[in-house]
Structure 1
Amino acid sequence: MLSAQQEIYLDNNATTPVLPVAAAAAMHTMQYGFGNPSSSHATGIKAKAELETTRSLARQLIGASSGDIVFTSGATEGIQTSIVSALLAARERGLAGPDTLLLYGATEHKAVPESLKHWNRVLNFNATIMAIPVDQHGLLDQAFIRQHLSKTAMICTMAANNETGVKQDLTALEQLIRQTNPEVYWMVDCVQALGKMALNIAATSIDYAPFSGHKLYAPKGIGFLYIRQGAPYQPFIAGGGQESGLRSGTENLPGIAALHAIFTELAKETGSVFQPERILWQYRQALLSALKQVFPALVLNSDAPYVVPTTINFSVPGFYSKDIMDLFDAAGIRVSSGSACSSKVPSSFVLDAMGLDSWRSQGAIRLSFGPAMTKAECDRACAAISALQQVVCQHCLVLTDATPTLEIHASGLIQLKHEALCSYLLICPDSRQVVVIDPVLPLAGRIANIIQGQGLTVKAILDTHLHRDHQSARPALLALVGNACPAESCDVLGWPEQVRQLHCGPFQLTKLATPGHTPEAVSIMLHHSDTAHGDKVRAVFCGDVLLPGGIGRSDLPGGDMSALADSIRLLAATLPDDCLLLSSHDYAQRFFTTLALALKEQPLLQDLLHNSANSDWPLQLQQQAALLQQHSQHLCGLVEVSLSDATDVIAPQRLNQFMAQRPDVQIVDVREPHEQSAGALTQYLQQPYAVLEMPLSKLADAVMTQRLRPEQPLLLVCRSGNRSLVACKVLGRLGFKQVFNLKGGTALLQ
């Protein structure tokens, strides 16, 4: 199994491991220095001394010779307290209502704008909340601040950004703020600053500065807040009057003791575990060099001189954040995307605010190391990253001069997905030919890499119809990889003129006119010959005639409801019930369907096929079209999302017991090939179980070729348990009765 010592942890902006001296200090306090600082006996007096010594060290480190230092549960509490205090004080001065502004930097941690919104509503302050724009470097727009500050009750900025590491010029901001509105309350989020950049709070007029312990090697649940002398302060927690009445509740002394140990190390002039800034810049450069070995086209989203050295935010053309995160995680390298999740591809709101291209925002990776990183740790991280160069080359993720190794999954049918869009590659490993079907632009680079990296000859690039919601990538792919069939001898969908059947090794493709969604639409039949099953239609690329869980729409320009119904009837009369229907869209993570399953799931289809005199299928299709027309995004069909679960979810601690009880179960690794190469599943297993590597992109191929069979008990595994659960649902719908999912995936096996 992969041990914690083998992990390469490079997500320190999210949280840090507890420094050994801090852990020892916390443990000593819990066992021997456990007194209540409010008690008057000797044990309490010792605890009080620990508390005040730590407070003094905090003052020293942030340069706060005056003002209050209040210990909190963390930065979020400090943010709430600051905002509540400022809003109450502003209201006493007669400021409130929509003409009063609350400003915050557009790239602030979500804790700040969400807290502003919450307390603005709860306190009935009802001010107008506005985000301060930033430039392409992430620096605040000072002209915007100057324009709006006179009406502002509170302004919130940050010292260093958690995603990009961008530093704000606090000196310039202070000059602007105090010259424009000396009375405005100013909070500066300093969570990512301590230990990474110089702070001299006393020399500023910052009113509030929250800090967090777990971002700097202390345990979670401890932090502190600086409050400038004379700044308004409203205790957030009332009670026993601890912290001079500023924050009641018995202090978290073990956490404070851990801070004491951290602060002591930071204060050392020599011999500290914390590295000087020049060394941190050297580490940054070494890590960047390793990253560029793996991804030569890497682009930095923030860089010197605008950043602290410990944060590297980058994107790679052709990669989404998840692609790189899955690859790194399989290799035991922990990074993050720093992205806000959405129903589509995650996108970084920080990079969006900086005005960077969407591919950079959707592909952003944040690599962050701590200021206590050692040279040995840096060298180990660089070696682990550099080792991935072979993996990305082998799987054609990045093309180099090196000849890639043909890997097992670069054959047969490959289903690639971008959001709800589906593209397909049909590869014959013997003839080295490939047919591409329904290519989409976001996947064009990946498809071209596979074709060029594997040295494949393009037999054809086909579309099932002229898509209404996106542009076909056929022209772009033709420009990148060429085509054996000249464009002038092909029809509008790329099918060679005067050719009834396309051959690609053992595969044969024929087309069937299936208009209705669009007038020129065709369905492409995939025949596959083998000795066991003879020549039969194994799958059909049906475009948007039928969708997994839905029927294509016919209300778009050129659409025809009656023609669509006739096309569906033609497919039903032509195809075997178990033939896979491979669509251009998959709106519900179902990957594919069959005619038998579609009839079972959609009563409308039954009515349409029988076309009885009293059938109301035309009315139902019209109602679906009306719903789709009201939808905010373009959809090519209406799909009802209904999910079924795995037969059972197996907890990691039950794995060995489960396998002992069910020796017939086949473990299936559904991660993508590059993840499997970066970190084999067997390294996570305590026993030498046989593992079948079957990525989601090959799931349709595995069902079509019966490498996965309904009667076979399967235990599916991925990195987190999410993709394997999706695969369980897909197989469950197809009649697989014994499909199990490993809860938490490889993450909980470590």
Structure 2
Amino acid sequence: MNQPSVRPRIRPSEIYLDSNATTPVLPIAAAAAMQCMQQQFGNPSSSHTTGIKAKATLEHARNLARQLTGAGDGHILFTSGATEGIQSSVVSALLALREQGKSGPATLLLYGATEHKAVPESLKHWNTVLQLDATIKAIPVDNNGQLDLTFISDHAPAAGLICTMAANNETGIKQPLAELEACIRNANPSVYWLVDCVQALGKMSLQLATTTIDYAPFSGHKLYAPKGVGFLYVRSRAPYQPFIIGGGQEGGLRSGTENLPGIAALGAVLAELQRQDSLLFQSEQTLWYYREKLLAALRYVFPALVLNSEQPYIVPTTVNFSVPGFFSKDIMDLFDAAGIRISSGSACSSKVPSSFVLDAMGLADWRSQGAIRLSFGPAMTPVQCNDACTAIKGLKAVVNKHCLVVTDATPTLEIHADGLLQLKHEDCCSYLLIDAGNAMALIIDPVPALVNRIINIVQGRQLQVLAILETHLHAEQQSAAALLRQTLNVNQQNADAFGWPAGTEQLAMATMQLTRLATPGHCASAISIILRRQQQVLAAFVGDVILPGGIGRTDLADGDAGMLQSSILLLAEHIEHDSLLLSSHDYAQRFATTLQLAQQESELFAKVLAGLPAATWQQQLNEQTARLQNASHYYCGLVEVTATDANRLLDKAELTDILAQQPDLLVVDVREPHEQTAGPLQRHLPAAAQVLAVPLSKLCDALISRQLTPARPLLLVCRSGNRSLLACKVLRRFGFTAVYNLNGGMAMLV
């Protein structure tokens, strides 16, 4: 008799490792919610049988929450989630303080420096609204994320409210609650104490009634229940002022008809969590085992990985790490392209984001700016853990191929390892010109934050560096070029201050030639490097003489407005109107400019080329200088920002139709090469789609080489739609008239 064949299990397309942000709803929770909506749909406040059954479901969930948290005679009231619990607790405590006459700057409101933003923002908001005018202070933490007990002892006597966490959402660091309680109560027995327990449920043992914790908020969606439901523990003797008033639900503590389906789902999760023989929730020992397996997989890909939080200070379900030479976004984009969902836990900003939690812990900037959070839930299965480890290990070939990590393996050269690379850090631009055929490279204007990336590319591709050049020299600034020359063994003895080889007027790279032109003015020592193919000027590296959308400043110690004017006019004589101008700074995310564009975007620049009198030029530069000196951020020049956009946003449903309507439409993947390798775009598009890979770092190269031409319609795609929209704006500036953007990016295709 033939045995039935066993089909191999296919690894899921998505590996979810961001459980500290939210979790999927467990089937038992979804079933409980559905049953409640369809069969136990009564209003718990109704006195008929249907309402009584609903009330029983509500109270059953409440009793489970009470038992699991050891709430004793404390109140358990259902909320919409932790944020509401935090708000209502803060308001209650502050109102009580105001009634006691404890207000003004002498009264302190303390919170841990690594708290979730919901806590300090709530303190600031309600302190203002209630006109308490108390002083809000952050409690420092040490390198292990532990609260400074000496600080608490010193400041608690004047404190009206102290807010701490059971476990941190970003690092997994837990606080020693018993030790913390002794410190607080020895200093001030009557101070109100709020403990954020969102990340504790299912990961830490809690016996709240045996403590003097006054308020403890919890959230359902962090533990496999739906979003929009949570509960709050309030100590029996703690003051509580109802945040929402109306029909008197929740014993008058929180009015409004309860979210019974959400509460039923949460109750199902809590019931399973309470079971000693649960088949869903893993033991603490198993969770630590999972963590070690995941960590081993990460170290297989990134041998230099550094943990930002470690035992014995953490819960087992969070891994927070950084990798030297990587920013958070680099790893995020790589993992997401491979279908692995992680997070950075970083604050968003226009600059490179950093983790305020790691900053508060005093860790180095590179660790804060490169922090990655991998988190899983207590219901992770062995199969899910193995799938995650397999997917992570699969990235080793990707990072090696693209020289994200340098190995001894011979690299595979591909299109992105040839031509011009524009590397960016915040507003700074560095350039690599690579001749793959002869394994040579030339580096222009390296910045310190990109040194490791440049070294990886050069060493990983086994390139010989022809020269490391700088377009301008500020006496007061340290150069990254010196470090690169030392690390890459580039001989500087026979070169001038800019790194240009002595006695050489022209450098050759493949079919291109580079010459230099003295262009002082922004500073006393400056050159522009002109890139030609035969007699055609392809581009010029202009430092800070010309910026995309503006002109360099001249108010520095060695700046000179007259010299800058002369340099701009001289440069205009040596290049063509459409030659790409590549600057050292890009404040408006325009990537590059041309003489033609510069005249359109800067009235002052147009006047300079038209022969602006020196006196008028000086006056207008003085006005620019005044604006620059009053700016909150340092700029090397003033840039005027103008808004341009894609012609149109396309949705996923429109793809097939527009490809049929415009058969010459070219789909351009602007993700970086490692993302393209980890998650190819073609598999998510109709078979007829023509795809061209042009990473943002190669966008200028594609313009120089005419790989992209204005005559052809383009559909730009990235992971989320943000980078592709940026590329749309750049191309629209350069005269591309039919440029579309995929709404939501690849995330909507997967």
**AA of the residue aligned to 1:91:** R
Within a 5 Å distance, the mapping from 1:400-419 to structure 2 comes to 400-419=407-426
Match of 1:497 among 479, 499, 502: 502
Once residues 364 and 612 of structure 2 are traced to their aligned partners in structure 1, the CA distance between those partners, rounded to angstroms, is: 53
Once residues 102 and 612 of structure 2 are traced to their aligned partners in structure 1, the CA distance between those partners, rounded to angstroms, is: 70
Q: Does 1:506 align with 2:511?
A: yes
Q: CA deviation at 1:749?
A: 1.4
3-state SS, counterpart of residue 195 of structure 2? strand
1:477 — aligned with what? 484
2:268 — aligned with what? 261
Match of 1:279 among 279, 282, 286: 286
Once residues 60 and 679 of structure 1 are traced to their aligned partners in structure 2, the CA distance between those partners, rounded to angstroms, is: 46
**AA of the residue aligned to 2:676:** Q
Question: Could you give the per-residue CA deviations for residues 45-69 of structure 1, whole angstroms, max 9, x where no partner exists?
Answer: 1101111111111111011121110
3-state SS, counterpart of residue 558 of structure 2? coil
Question: Could you give the per-residue CA deviations for residues 88-143 of structure 1, whole angstroms, max 9, x where no partner exists?
Answer: 11111111111100000000000000001111011111100000000000010000
Within a 5 Å distance, the mapping from 1:343-422 to structure 2 comes to 343-422=350-429
3-state SS, counterpart of residue 6 of structure 1? coil
Q: CA deviation at 1:652?
A: 2.1
Q: Does 1:119 align with 2:126?
A: yes
Question: Could you give the per-residue CA deviations for residues 520-579 of structure 1, whole angstroms, max 9, x where no partner exists?
Answer: 2111010124xxxxx311000011110000001111111111111011001112211110
**AA of the residue aligned to 2:749:** L
Say if 1:428 and 1:506, in contact at 8 Å, map to a contact too: no
Within a 5 Å distance, the mapping from 1:301-700 to structure 2 comes to 301-467=308-474, 470-483=477-490, 486-529=491-534, 535-612=535-612, 616-700=616-700
3-state SS, counterpart of residue 221 of structure 2? coil
RMSD over equivalenced CA pairs, Å = 1.3
Say if 2:665 and 2:690, in contact at 8 Å, map to a contact too: no
Which TM-score applies when normalising by structure 2? Answer: 0.97
Say if 2:562 and 2:614, in contact at 8 Å, map to a contact too: no
Q: CA deviation at 1:608?
A: 1.2
Say if 1:649 and 1:743, in contact at 8 Å, map to a contact too: yes
Once residues 352 and 191 of structure 1 are traced to their aligned partners in structure 2, the CA distance between those partners, rounded to angstroms, is: 22
Once residues 178 and 466 of structure 1 are traced to their aligned partners in structure 2, the CA distance between those partners, rounded to angstroms, is: 59
Structure 1, 519-528 or 128-137: larger mean CA deviation: 519-528
**AA of the residue aligned to 1:518:** C
Once residues 355 and 288 of structure 2 are traced to their aligned partners in structure 1, the CA distance between those partners, rounded to angstroms, is: 25
Say if 1:469 and 1:634, in contact at 8 Å, map to a contact too: no
Once residues 61 and 684 of structure 1 are traced to their aligned partners in structure 2, the CA distance between those partners, rounded to angstroms, is: 45
Once residues 425 and 408 of structure 2 are traced to their aligned partners in structure 1, the CA distance between those partners, rounded to angstroms, is: 28
Once residues 305 and 475 of structure 2 are traced to their aligned partners in structure 1, the CA distance between those partners, rounded to angstroms, is: 33
Q: CA deviation at 1:292?
A: 0.3
**AA of the residue aligned to 1:310:** T
- Relative distance call for 1:720 and 1:375 in structure 2 (3 A) is same
Within a 5 Å distance, the mapping from 1:226-265 to structure 2 comes to 226-265=233-272
- Structure 1, gaps ≥5 residues long: 530-534
2:7 — aligned with what? none
- Relative distance call for 1:615 and 1:656 in structure 2 (3 A) is farther
2:3 — aligned with what? none
Once residues 591 and 489 of structure 2 are traced to their aligned partners in structure 1, the CA distance between those partners, rounded to angstroms, is: 29
3-state SS, counterpart of residue 416 of structure 1? strand
3-state SS, counterpart of residue 590 of structure 2? coil
- Structure 2, gaps ≥5 residues long: 1-9
Q: CA deviation at 1:404?
A: 2.0
Say if 2:471 and 2:527, in contact at 8 Å, map to a contact too: yes
Say if 1:580 and 1:593, in contact at 8 Å, map to a contact too: yes
Q: Does 1:174 align with 2:164?
A: no
Question: Could you give the per-residue CA deviations for residues 155-181 of structure 1, whole angstroms, max 9, x where no partner exists?
Answer: 000100000000001001111111211
1:225 — aligned with what? 232
Structure 1, 614-623 or 148-157: larger mean CA deviation: 614-623
Once residues 148 and 614 of structure 2 are traced to their aligned partners in structure 1, the CA distance between those partners, rounded to angstroms, is: 66
**AA of the residue aligned to 1:515:** P
Once residues 453 and 407 of structure 1 are traced to their aligned partners in structure 2, the CA distance between those partners, rounded to angstroms, is: 13
Q: CA deviation at 1:610?
A: 2.3
Say if 1:82 and 1:187, in contact at 8 Å, map to a contact too: yes
Question: Could you give the per-residue CA deviations for residues 388-445 of structure 1, whole angstroms, max 9, x where no partner exists?
Answer: 0000000000012222211220001111011111111111111111111111111111
Q: CA deviation at 1:613?
A: 5.1
Once residues 261 and 391 of structure 1 are traced to their aligned partners in structure 2, the CA distance between those partners, rounded to angstroms, is: 42
Q: CA deviation at 1:518?
A: 1.5
Say if 2:11 and 2:387, in contact at 8 Å, map to a contact too: no
- Relative distance call for 1:318 and 1:59 in structure 2 (3 A) is same
1:532 — aligned with what? none
Once residues 328 and 172 of structure 1 are traced to their aligned partners in structure 2, the CA distance between those partners, rounded to angstroms, is: 39
Once residues 34 and 700 of structure 1 are traced to their aligned partners in structure 2, the CA distance between those partners, rounded to angstroms, is: 60
Q: CA deviation at 1:615?
A: 7.6
**AA of the residue aligned to 1:627:** R
Once residues 152 and 166 of structure 1 are traced to their aligned partners in structure 2, the CA distance between those partners, rounded to angstroms, is: 24
3-state SS, counterpart of residue 409 of structure 1? helix
Which TM-score applies when normalising by structure 1? Answer: 0.97
**AA of the residue aligned to 1:267:** Q
Structure 1, 520-529 or 9-18: larger mean CA deviation: 520-529
Once residues 55 and 678 of structure 2 are traced to their aligned partners in structure 1, the CA distance between those partners, rounded to angstroms, is: 51
3-state SS, counterpart of residue 582 of structure 1? strand
Once residues 606 and 89 of structure 2 are traced to their aligned partners in structure 1, the CA distance between those partners, rounded to angstroms, is: 63
Once residues 329 and 54 of structure 2 are traced to their aligned partners in structure 1, the CA distance between those partners, rounded to angstroms, is: 47
Q: Does 1:731 align with 2:738?
A: no
Say if 2:550 and 2:640, in contact at 8 Å, map to a contact too: yes
Once residues 5 and 569 of structure 1 are traced to their aligned partners in structure 2, the CA distance between those partners, rounded to angstroms, is: 60
3-state SS, counterpart of residue 218 of structure 2? strand
- Relative distance call for 1:146 and 1:614 in structure 2 (3 A) is closer
Once residues 219 and 492 of structure 1 are traced to their aligned partners in structure 2, the CA distance between those partners, rounded to angstroms, is: 63
Runs of 4+ in 1 over 4 A off after TM superposition: 612-615
3-state SS, counterpart of residue 587 of structure 2? coil
- Relative distance call for 1:711 and 1:20 in structure 2 (3 A) is same
Within a 5 Å distance, the mapping from 1:735-750 to structure 2 comes to 735-750=735-750
Within a 5 Å distance, the mapping from 1:48-87 to structure 2 comes to 48-87=55-94
**AA of the residue aligned to 1:519:** A
- Relative distance call for 1:595 and 1:377 in structure 2 (3 A) is same
**AA of the residue aligned to 1:33:** Q
Say if 1:463 and 1:494, in contact at 8 Å, map to a contact too: yes
Q: CA deviation at 1:296?
A: 0.4
1:191 — aligned with what? 198
Q: CA deviation at 1:11?
A: 0.5
**AA of the residue aligned to 1:603:** E
Give the paired residue count. 741
Say if 1:440 and 1:471, in contact at 8 Å, map to a contact too: no
Say if 1:84 and 1:119, in contact at 8 Å, map to a contact too: yes
- Give aligned-pair identity as a percent: 64
Say if 2:598 and 2:606, in contact at 8 Å, map to a contact too: no
1:155 — aligned with what? 162
3-state SS, counterpart of residue 233 of structure 1? coil
